[in-house]
């Protein structure tokens, strides 16, 4: 079982080592100058912008994230179905009816999201 997994873990180890080495290298090799305040400021194409306190971020991004989760689960449910669909067809249309009901309900969800203009990016 773990024969399949161990190489992946070894690969992660290799990547981490590589990344750490590179950053370490730049840290050692790189010039060490005293950071000037201007340099410290977040880069704004050169203009030294004032930094007002609370940045009002548009919150609409989270809605896509939520919808992503819900539709991702739909996809996850489809995978096992896809594997078995071909073989269970031999035993009648039952497997088909199941997925039709499932997909109808969820496409209605998508349709609702569409009509409710939840994904509008004004």
Partner 1 sequence: MQDQKGAHTMLHVGLNHYLVLSGVLFSIGVLGVLLRKNALIILMSIELMLNAVNLSFVAFSKYAQNMDGQIMVFFVMTIAAAEAAVGLAIAVAVFKRFKEVNIAHFENLKG
Partner 2 sequence: MGTTWLEIIINTVKIAAIFVIVVSTVPLLVWVERRGPAFMQNRLGPNRVGPLGLLQLAADAIKFIFKEEFIPTKAEKILYFMAPGLTLLPAALTFAAIPLSTPINILGYTFKLQIADLNIGLIYIFAVASLGVYGILAAGWSSGNKYAMLGALRASSQMISYEIAMGLSVVGVLMMYQTFSLNQMITEQFGYFSFLWQGSAVELKFLPNWGVFFQPLAFILFLTATFAETNRLPFDLPEGEAELVAGFHTEYGGFKFNMFFMGEYGHMITSAALITTLFFGGYALPFISPEQVREFWIQNGHTLLGFTGLSMPDIASVLTTITHLVVFLAKTGFWLFFFIWVRWTLPRFRYDQLMDLGWKTLLPWSLVNLALTTALMYFARIVK
Partner 3 sequence: MELTAADILFYLFGFVSVVSALMVVFVSNPIYSALLLAVVMSILGIFFFNLEAHFIAAAQVVVYAGAVMVLFVMVMMLFDLKREKEEVARFSILTVLKIISVGVVCGVLVGAGAMITGDGMGFIKVSTTEAPPPPSMLLKSDINAPTKQTTNPEELKDEVVEITQNPQAGVEIFTKYTDTQKLSLKLFSKYIFIFELLSVLLLVAIVGAVALARSKGGTHHVTRGS
**List of residues contacting partner 1 (CB under 8 A):** 59, 62, 66, 69-70, 72-73, 76-77
Question: Considering the rule CB under 8 A, would residue 114 count as an interface residue with partner 2?
Answer: yes
Distances (CA, A) of 25 to 20, 31, 34, 98: 8, 11, 19, 57
Number of residues that bind partner 3 (CB under 8 A): 50
Task: Give dist(CA 84, CA 119) in Å, integer.
Answer: 34
**DSSP state at residue 90:** G
41 binds partner 2 (CB under 8 A): yes
The residue from 26, 47, 53, 94 that contacts partner 2 (CB under 8 A) is 26
Among 47, 115, 117, 120, indicate the residue that binds partner 2 (CB under 8 A). Answer: 120
Give the single-character DSSP code of 30.
S
């Amino acid at each position: 079982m773990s024969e399949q997994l161990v190489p992946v873990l070894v690969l992660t180890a290799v990547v981490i080592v590589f990344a750490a080495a590179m950053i370490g290298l730049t840290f050692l090799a790189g010039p060490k100058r005293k950071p000037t305040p201007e340099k410290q400021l977040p880069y704004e194409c050169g203009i030294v912008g004032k930094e007002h306190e609370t940045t009002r971020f548009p919150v609409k991004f989270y809605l896509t994230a939520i919808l992503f989760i819900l539709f991702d689960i739909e996809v996850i449910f489809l995978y096992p179905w896809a594997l078995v669909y071909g073989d269970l067809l031999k035993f009648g249309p039952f497997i088909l009816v199941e997925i039709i009901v499932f997909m109808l309900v969820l496409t209605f969800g998508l349709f609702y999201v569409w009509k409710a203009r939840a994904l509008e990016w004004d």
